[in-house]
Each structure stands twice: as C-alpha cells, then as structure tokens.
Copies of this chain bind each other. A is one copy, B any other.
Amino acid sequence: MNSPKSRTKLAAIALLAITGGWAATSLLSTTQMTAFAASEKTGPEVTSFFLENGLQVVVIPDRRAPVVTHMIWYRAGSADEPPGKSGIAHYLEHLMFKGTKTTKNGEFSSRVAAIGGQENAFTSTDYTGYFQRVTPEALEDMMTLEADRMENLVLTNEIIIPERDVVQEERNARTESNPGSLLREAMAAALYQNHPYGIPIIGWQHEVNALDKDDAIAFYDKFYTPNNAIVVVAGDVDVETVRRLSKKTYGVVKRRAEPGTRKRPTEPPPRAARRIDMADARVRTPSFQRLYLVPSYNSDQDGEAEALEILGELLGGGSTSRLYKSLVIEQKLATSAGSWYQGGSLDDTQFGFYGSPRGDVTLAALEEATEKEIAKLLKDGVTEAEVKRTQSRLIKQSTFSQDSQSSLARIYGGSLMLGLTIEDIESWPDRIRAVTVESVNKAAKTYLQKKRSVTGFLTPETHTHGKEG
C-alpha cells in the first residue's frame, strides 16, 4: 500500500493532518479539526461533479489496494447551531446511527462491521462528517445506507434520551475530568466575544441536558439535505462507477431545505488582552497558553493565512523552532514551548503559544520569556533563510498524508467544507513557496498584538486566604 511508486503518483500534501485516531465517534477539537491539503501537479486526478439535487461528489482514485473510503460531509457544525442549543450538531451525529424508516437502531454499524469495514463520524465547528472504509464491492451498500439516513431518520424518545447520557459521558470524559480542556473551553469563550466558535463543540453541559427530539429533528431538517453535503470517494474505484452509483443512491434523495450562505456573527475589533488563571487540584504540570485571534485560510486576505502558517512553524513548530531553542534548550526555562496556527476554519481562527515551565520556574517567567521572543520577532523580523527552511519543512511534512487514503479523503472533504476549492488545495505548495519575509513580518505585526489575545495559566490548586485569592 505504500510502495515508492504509488507515493510519487500521490504527492498530495497535507497540512495539519489530523493526528487523532479514529475513535468510535470523534469530536474534533479546534486544533484537530483542520484538514487542508495540496497536491503537486503529479498528484491524484481528482474529479468533482454535482447531482441534480445539488449534492457534490468528489472522486480521488487510489489504486494501491482494493479499498475505498466513502465519506459524506454536511455543512453543519457547532457554529451553525441555534442559540441555546449548543451540542445539537454533535448529538445529532450520534443519533444518525439510531435507525431509519427501513433500518433498525444500530443496524448501520452492524452492517459495516459484518463486511469487515471500519467506520467513524466526527463533528467540528464547521461541519459534520461520516466515514466508512470498505472493499469496493460494498460501496453501493454504503451509499444506499447514507442516502437513506439523509432523509429517513427516525427518532423516538426511547432512543434519544439514553443517547444523551452517552453524549454527557463523553463530555465528562473529555472535558469535565480534564482541567486542561476546561481551560481551553474558557479561553475560547473569552477569545470569541461574538462569534459562536466561543461555544464548545460538544456543547455546554446544561444545554446538552435540555436537548430533545424536536431540537435534533429541526437541525436535521435544516442541514441534512443533498445540496448541503459533499460525498468524497477515495480508493480503488473509477469515476464512472462512482457517478453511476451516486446517481442511483444519493440521486433519489429530495432537496429538503435551502440552508443558504453560511454567515455567523463576526468578531468586533479586539480591545484588550484577556487572562484566565485556572487552579485545579488535578493539575500535575503547570502550563501556559496564549491564543490570538487571526484570519483563517477562508477568511484571510492576500495570503495572510500562508504567512501565518510559516510564522507558526518558524516560531514554534518542533525542536528547531525559535521558541524551543530559546526557552527549552538555551534558557532552560521550559520543558516544552511552541506555537501553532490553526488555519482550517470558515471564520477567524486561532494562533497559539504554549509552554510548561521547568522545575521552579514560574508561569509568569515563562510568559515573559515567550513575550520577549515575540517582541524580538516584531522588532527584528524573520530572516530569508528561516523562511526558506520553513517553507521546505512544511511542504515536506505535508507529504505524510499521501500514505493514507482516509487522510486524503478527509483533506479534500474538509477543505471544501471550509469554502476552499480543489484548486486552492492543489496550489497550496506554490502559495507556501510564494510567502516572503515581508509578508511574514507584516502578518506578525498585524496579528500578534496583545489586545487580540487571551492568556491562560493552569496551576495546581493553591489555598490562600479563604475562597477568594
């Protein structure tokens, strides 16, 4: 499956490829949700077409093994939820496995398992996706099942109430029992003053508790319609077969709604830096985080996203980055330190810094050292050599994705969900190569302003005077 020959043919480039494994169902955190890719001119011959009902179908041939990856993506994420109904996108994702007019609760998954397939589903701020990996003969069955649950979902309170407990358990395991997650949730809520990205994908616990069948059906009826979805088929299959099968299965699904343009409340200009100190007895290692509000690949102008991509990597990507060399190796203040740019979202997104202090070093000292690196960067700028090295590293890193058919499918589907085109995906290496020293310096000066930021300190609980302090 990974022969050198097919590798060169499949020089698709994945940026920020999804690193999390495929859990039973997964919830994509902000840093995981990006799927952005570009293929060299020698990359896969990607084909895209539309059915009459508005469904887009993308075909990515990959003949390395007799396997196909079938994904359906809906333009419906947590940022599309109605106010007060946080978590409904993710809850509905769970409920999509609960049976239709012709299939029973759990039948979808048991049929995939019966043929030795793998499956998964995931919800992000901007989309919800469903995935199966099967042999080519099973593709038609998968399409039939997905097309069926796009319009024939049947929900009863008997099914829906216990599943809400499952979702709450998921929240307990991922968030409530994890101080780091609670801090990230609070930081996102502080970073976004108006935009729904400030609301957690899994939902606020008290709102999830109140979600009911009507909420799920309303969200389903509004967004689960062929003209709001993209099917991606990657693997050992030809375009004509996919066209014929998708017409036969998805083609008969009626256009049920017109979700229209995706327009969320946008952020006001940030006025002042915000800080959050979270103390929790469960914390073993103190840590420092900072988020800045920055444009995404979709919301930026004039290549700002590509410049921020270089900046995040140059400043804090791995052990050759400025922050790691300065804070961890030279000053020995930190056991980890870095920065990242999360460009894959529809609307304005996050540029982050993080670090854990070494020994008795305080978080304040670590923050100060990080700020000094930022100040130095803003004053002196980056060098031509640094930019060149980073461009080359990013483009090389992205070749990792070519090994995985599902990553490839995910990169195309995810990028299209975020308002990008197939051309955008394919021209990404060229655009990364075109980033200049000036554009990196300009992006840094424009966006790494403290008033655009939220700083978080996570510490073990301390007991001072009373409850206050």
Residues of A within 8 A of B (CB): 83-84, 86, 182-183, 185-186, 189-190, 193-194, 196, 198-199, 204-207, 263-266, 268-269, 271-279, 371-372, 374-375, 378-379, 445, 448-450, 465-469
Contact status A271-B275, CB under 8 Å:
no
Residues of B within 8 A of A448 (CB): 467-468
Which of these, B194, B198, B271, B466, contacts A278 with CB under 8 Å?
B271
> In the complex, are the beta carbons of A204 and B198 less than 8 A apart?
no
If over half of A's interface residues share one DSSP class (helix, strand or loop), that class is named, otherwise mixed; here it is mixed
In the complex, are the beta carbons of A276 and B276 less than 8 A apart? Answer: no
A450 and B467 in contact, given A84-B264, A193-B189, A274-B276 (Cβ under 8 angstroms)? yes
How far does the Cβ of A247 sit from chain B's closest Cβ, in whole Å? 38
Partner of A466, one of B186, B277, B375: B375
Contacts of A194 in B (CB 8 A): 86, 189, 199, 204, 207
4 further A-B pairs in the complex, CB-CB below 8 A; given A182-B271, A186-B272, A448-B468: A205-B269, A207-B265, A274-B276, A449-B467
Q: Can you name the residue of chain B whose Cβ is closest to the Cβ of A266?
A: B206
A86 touches B265 (CB 8 A): yes
**A83-B264 in contact (CB<8A):** yes
Partner of A371, one of B183, B199, B264, B469: B469
The answer to whether B86 touches A466, judged by C-beta atoms less than 8 angstroms apart, is no
How distant is A465 from chain B, measured CB to nearest CB, in Å?
4
State the CA gap A121–B275 with chains docked (Å): 37
Q: Are A205 and B276 in contact (CB under 8 A)?
A: no
The docked-state distance in angstroms from the alpha carbon of A193 to that of B182 is: 13
What's the Cα separation between A371 and B468 when bound, in Å?
7
From B83, B198, B205, A193 is in contact (CB under 8 Å) with B198
> In the complex, A276 Cα to B190 Cα: how many Å?
10
Closest residue on chain B to residue A182 by CB atoms: B271
Which residues from chain B contact A189 at a C-beta distance below 8 Å? 193-194
Please, how many angstroms separate the alpha-carbon atoms of A265 and B210 in the complex?
11
Q: Max chain B CB contacts within 10 Å: which of A269, A448, A465, A467? A: A467
Contact at A190–B467, with CB atoms within 8 Å? Answer: no
Contacts known (A193-B186, A375-B466, A467-B378); A275 close to B278, Cβ less than 8 A: no
Set of chain B residues within 8 Å of A278, measured between Cβ atoms: 271-272
Chain B residues positioned under 8 Å from A272 (CB to CB)? 182-183, 186, 276-279
Rounded to whole Å, the gap between the CB of A295 and the closest CB of chain B is 15
User: What would be 11 A-B contacts, judged by CB atoms less than 8 Å apart?
Assistant: A84-B263, A84-B266, A190-B193, A190-B274, A205-B269, A207-B268, A274-B274, A275-B277, A371-B465, A375-B466, A375-B469
A199 to B198, CA, bound (A): 13
Give Cα A190–Cα B456 distance, bound, in whole angstroms. 14
Shortest CB–CB separation between residue A362 and chain B, in angstroms?
16
